[in-house]
Amino acid sequence: MRVLVLNGPNLNLLGSREPEVYGRETLADIEVLVRNRAQALGIEVAFAQSNHEGDLVDVIQAHRGWDGLILNAGAYTHTSQAIPDAISATQLLTVEVHLSNVFRREAFRHHSTISPVAWGCIVGFGFRGYLAALDLLHGRLTEGTVG
Ligand code: DQA
């Protein structure tokens, strides 16, 4: 089972970026936590981060045929058409993750172009959202169920 964990713009600054909103963990800390959980679950994970929309599309395309995608597209969540198109094109089973509870924040963060093509969305649980996404993908992929 192979899962791509993909992070978008400004998430490379986690740890120092508005820690009261996004938490004190760096992206490297989150990667270690996810890799440990993945190892326990027998999942192969790849990590990528980019501040550029086209790069995110390239990485999604390069992982066509993988079993799952955990995606925090950062601010592109609210604007991108190309990223959801890439998900539709590759048919990657996607869990959308946001560290902060976007629904408690500015109105522009309430809309996601990714949610309509995602299996589901986890918001507001900080780094734990990535771990939950991994557990959910593992459950669905091992059970072979759809819902
Ligand atoms: C975010 C929420 C987005 O609105 C914001 O632009 C981000 C991070 C989150 O993880 O809470 O960069 O995706």
Per-residue confidence (pLDDT) for residue 147, from 0 to 100: 64
Read off the tokens for 89: 């094109």
Assess whether the C-beta atom of 102 lies below 6 angstroms from ligand 1: yes
Roughly how many angstroms between the first and final C-alpha of the chain, as a whole number? 19
- Could you tell me the pTM of the whole model? 0.96
Domain that holds residue 92: 2-143
Query: Who contacts 53 (Cβ-Cβ below 8 Å, separation ≥6)?
Result: 8, 76, 80, 82, 83
CATH value at residue 102: 3.40.50.9100
Q: What is the pLDDT of residues 1-25, one digit of tens each?
A: 999 999 999 999 999 888 998 989 9
Q: Residue 45 in contact with residue 3, Cβ under 8 Å?
A: yes
**122 Cβ below 6 A of ligand 1:** no
Number of domains forming the structure of the chain: 1
